[in-house]
Structure 1
Amino acid sequence: MSTSTSTASRQNLPQNLLKRHAGSSIEDFRKHYIERHSKAAIPWFLANGVTYYAQIHGPLSWASEAASQKYAGSIKLDEWDASSEVDLANVDEGQDFYSKVILPDERKLFLTEARNHMEIVDAGSVVGDRVEFIVDGKALVEYEEWKKVWNEHEA
């Protein structure tokens, strides 16, 4: 797993602000998001052509004064726990794997299903502790357990 701050391999992707499930500590949220949810999503993302996936963990801050001013009236950044960078444009949410593996995990991890509560901000608006999982279409972490789950669903 990479905790890079480099922008060399990053695409110009919007950032998806996310909130943790009520009652979950920041530490538990971060651990689950990094160690379970990300790895469960990797085979699904790769099968759908995702070439970059990163999480940015809080405390989050605005990357620039321009971003701060743009979102000042609508987003209180201290109310958000993390952000993701992933191109979901071509990802098939109708797949069995998504509904049986990803969504149930989102319901445990996030305030609600991600797409129901996330706020999307411009690329590069938010900074924090960046953790990269997929760069240039290749997973940077081991996810064997989830490869097996993916293969079973595909069979």
Structure 2
Amino acid sequence: MSTSTSTSEQHDLPQNLLKRHAGSSIEDFRKHYIEQHGKIAIPWFLANGVTYYAQIHGPMRWASETARQKYAGSIKLEEWDAAAEVDLASVDKGHDFYSKVILPDERKLFLTDARGHLQVVDAGSVVGDRVEFIVHGKALVEYEEWKKVWDGHEA
């Protein structure tokens, strides 16, 4: 798995800020998000043509003074636990897989369903520990278990 804390990496994708489920420690949240949830989403994302997917873990900070000023009145970054960089607008098939596999895992991991509470900020607004799962349309991590689940839903 590729991890990077480089602030020079820029992607033209909005960043989706996310909060962990109440009662989950930061360590447990991070482990589950990286080792399970990130992998569950890979076959679904790839089938929908997603070419880049990364998670950014805290402590997150504003990438620039401009970003900090833009969101200063509406977002307290310390209240958010991670960010995802992925083009969710391109995801239009496999809704059954999402509702039966991904959504139940989101409900264990996040404060609410991700789409129910996420806050979108501009591309490159936040930085932290970056974990990349898909780059140039190719998975960087093993996800065979979840590919089999995806294939079963597609059949």
CA contact 1:55–1:132 (8 Å) conserved in 2: yes
Residues 9-48 of structure 1 show CA distances to partners (whole Å, capped at 9, x for unaligned) of: x530000000000000000000000000000000000000
List runs of 5+ in structure 1 lacking aligned partners: none
How far off is 1:92 after superposition?
2.1
The 5-angstrom pairing of residues 95-110 of structure 1 reads 95-110=95-110
1:46 matched to 2:46? The reply is: yes
TM-score w.r.t. the length of structure 2 is 0.96
Runs in 1 of length 4+ with deviation above 3 angstroms? none
Separation of aligned partners in 1, 2:122 and 2:11 = 12
- Identity across aligned pairs (percent)? 83
Tell me how far apart the structure 2 counterparts of residues 92 and 109 of structure 1 sit (CA, whole Å).
23
Across the aligned residues of Structure 1 and Structure 2, the Cα RMSD in angstroms comes to: 1.1
Q: Contact 1:93–1:99 (CA<8 Å) still a contact in 2?
A: no
Unaligned runs of 5+ in 2: none
Match of 1:115 in 2: 115
1:52 deviation in Å? 0.1
CA distance in 2, matches of 1:66, 1:95: 37
Across the two proteins, how many residue pairs are aligned to each other?
Answer: 153
Q: Residue 151 of structure 2 aligns to a residue in which SS? A: helix
Could you tell me how far apart the structure 2 residues matched to 1:86 and 1:76 are?
22
Verify the 8 A CA contact 1:61 1:77 in the aligned structure 2.
Answer: yes
